[in-house]
Amino acid sequence: MKIIKLSTIAFLAVSTLYGNVTQDLQKEVNTLKTTLSEMQEQIDKVQEHDAKDNIKFTVDFRSEYNYINYDYDNYSVKGVDLSGKSASNDSLLATRLFLNMKSSPMDKLTFSGQLAAYGVWGGHAYGFEDASLKGWSSSSKASDTLFRIRQAYFVYSDAFSNGLPYSFSVGRRQSTDGFLANHREGNKNAGSPLAHITNMEADAAMFKLDLSKYLTSGASIKTVLGRAHTGKGVETLYDNGGYRPYALEDGDVNENVDFLIFLGNLYDNGQYKVMFEHATVFNTKGQNLLTGDKSADAGTAYLDALSFQMTGVGDMINDFLDETTLFASLAMTQYNPDSGHQLLGSTDSETGYSVWLGFTIPDMMTQKGKFGFEYNHGSEYWTPMTWAEDSVMGSKVAVRGDAYEAYWNFNMFGLKNLTGQIRYTYEQHDYTPNIRCSGWVKPEKVDIKAENLRAFVRYQF
């Protein structure tokens, strides 16, 4: 009986002790959980602060090989007849580097920027003006202060009281490799404008309205106001032409060339997308008939495009059709000279037309690899703003004649950050090649055959 009592007492003592220890341990665990929760909260705040307080950098690095050939069956330039001659380069090597920047100090405000360097191997700094200034040596000498900004702009996004979303932006816009041009460049996402009539950097202000809630699926409209050319004759504080820093005198060559653009989505449900763009260029460049000089106030140009894209054919028929993309675009340019001036060599209003057709299909050999085929046709007076297009022959979209192109975009070694491309472009120029959207150049009858074979390797991260 005593043994039973002693055992009971011992059991109760151990149970009490165990209960106290368990309660103490549970308190410690709860305290530790609270501490960890508070620490995680602080870490989240620090990470959130750092994410908004810093600029995120990404890299787009590309090295390329180009074969180029031109056959001049009928072509004269500056009084020199080149008919029957040819020109070629069987080994043009180039490297392009984009350093991308993005930051978001607050939920509604973002900044995007892009620094760019693009040059040929063994080339010279500032082009080919001075053979002593090699491009690859400029960064090692205390003589080069050139720094190129390709993009730099902010975007503020909010919604009106009725829930209508809007965006406002100012700066050098991402106006290259736009809608439809992204396929041939191997870019998953397109830039903002329609590449059929706009493919060049632009300094502008933008205001966008998202109308999908009130109109069709994905509907939106942008208004862009910018400047393409600052009037000639602007003097700085250090010029010696008289005290008039940054002022302009009256006269044709001293006018600013501004543009107003309306563009947006008419419909976008993820599979079918229709976009439009209308651009007006004020004081566009041409020729003064009285003096015979180039003029920055020769008239007004109007450019219009309507582009369509189908991403996936049918509705889940098979993987091949799901990964097929079809696209087509129609565009028009009209140059209207002022009295006493010429645009495109004419005192009358001249209209140009263009069509752009293409498709991409899975290569059926690599993961996410695509074959692409495109066709372009432009008429005699077709003159878009596309001189920044990434092609060593100039803009194939601006061809006055016919252009045929085939390309293969693929991931190298199955890596999504390392891609490659093989692309062949053939152009038949029936009129003076349109390389600068120059209103003072008259389209003359020519017969030039141009071809470019390009292969590149590209790293993005």
**Mean pLDDT in residue range 137-145:** 57
Given this model, what pLDDT does residue 299 score?
A: 93
Domain limit, last residue, from 54, 76, 93? 54
Q: Is the pLDDT of residue 309 over 70?
A: yes
Given this model, what pLDDT does residue 78 score?
A: 79
Question: How far is residue 401's CA from residue 376's CA, in Å, rounded to a whole number?
Answer: 8
Q: Are residues 38 and 180 in the same domain?
A: no
Q: Is the pLDDT of residue 25 over 90?
A: no
- Among 23, 97, 33, 20, residue whose Cα is nearest residue 60: 97
Q: Are residues 287 and 433 in the same domain?
A: yes
Given this model, what pLDDT does residue 90 score?
A: 94
- Among 453, 455, 451, 343, residue whose Cα is nearest residue 402: 451
Beta strands in 24-125 (DSSP E): 56-74, 76-77, 80-81, 85-106, 109-120
Least confident of 362-366, 401-405, 432-436: 432-436
Enter the pTM of the model.
0.84
> Where does the pLDDT of residue 278 fall: very low under 50, low under 70, confident under 90, or very high at 90 and above?
very high
Given this model, what pLDDT does residue 117 score?
A: 86
Q: Are residues 137 and 256 in the same domain?
A: yes
Q: Are residues 315 and 217 in the same domain?
A: yes
Q: Is the pLDDT of residue 7 over 70?
A: no
Q: Is the pLDDT of residue 356 over 80?
A: yes
Q: Are residues 43 and 158 in the same domain?
A: no
Q: Is the pLDDT of residue 27 over 90?
A: no
**Averaged pLDDT score across all residues of the chain:** 85
Number of domains into which the chain is organized: 2
> Where does the pLDDT of residue 4 fall: very low under 50, low under 70, confident under 90, or very high at 90 and above?
low
> Where does the pLDDT of residue 143 fall: very low under 50, low under 70, confident under 90, or very high at 90 and above?
low
Q: Are residues 195 and 266 in the same domain?
A: yes
Q: Is the pLDDT of residue 64 over 80?
A: yes
Q: Are residues 11 and 60 in the same domain?
A: no
Q: State pLDDT tens for residues 208-246.
A: 999 998 899 999 999 999 998 887 766 666 766 667 777
Q: Are residues 195 and 73 in the same domain?
A: yes
Q: State pLDDT tens for residues 279-300.
A: 999 999 888 888 888 887 899 9
Given this model, what pLDDT does residue 51 score?
A: 56
Q: Are residues 83 and 156 in the same domain?
A: yes
By percentage, how much of the chain surpasses pLDDT 90?
Answer: 54
Higher pLDDT, 32 or 68: 68
Domain limit, last residue, from 54, 77, 97? 54
Higher pLDDT, 353 or 162: 353
**What is the largest distance, in Å, between two alpha-carbon atoms of the chain?**
132
**Mean pLDDT in residue range 363-382:** 94
Domain span at 193: 56-460
Q: Is the pLDDT of residue 203 over 70?
A: yes
**Mean pLDDT in residue range 388-415:** 91
Q: Are residues 45 and 76 in the same domain?
A: no
Q: State pLDDT tens for residues 65-112.
A: 999 999 999 988 878 898 999 999 999 999 999 999 999 988 899 999
Question: How far is residue 395's CA from residue 391's CA, in Å, rounded to a whole number?
Answer: 6
Q: Are residues 128 and 47 in the same domain?
A: no
> In b/e form, how buried is each residue of 344-379, taking b as 16+ CB within 10 angstroms?
bbebeebebebebebbbbbbeebeebbbbebebbbb
Backbone angles phi, psi at 235, to 5 degrees: -105, 150
Least confident of 54-68, 206-220, 242-256, 424-438: 242-256
Q: Is the pLDDT of residue 348 over 60?
A: yes
Exposed (0-12), middle (13-18) or buried (19+): which is 148, by Cβ within 10 Å?
exposed
Domain limit, last residue, from 16, 32, 54? 54
In whole angstroms, how far apart are CA 209 and each of 1, 309, 355?
A: 91, 22, 29
- Taking residue 124's Cβ as centre, other Cβ atoms within 10 Å add up to 18
The domain that holds 146 is classified in CATH as 2.40.160.10
Q: Is the pLDDT of residue 29 over 80?
A: no
Q: Is the pLDDT of residue 407 over 80?
A: yes
With beta carbons less than 8 A apart as the criterion, state whether 438 and 386 touch.
no
Q: Are residues 66 and 10 in the same domain?
A: no
**Mean pLDDT in residue range 136-150:** 64
Q: State pLDDT tens for residues 167-202.
A: 999 999 878 899 999 999 999 888 888 999 999 888
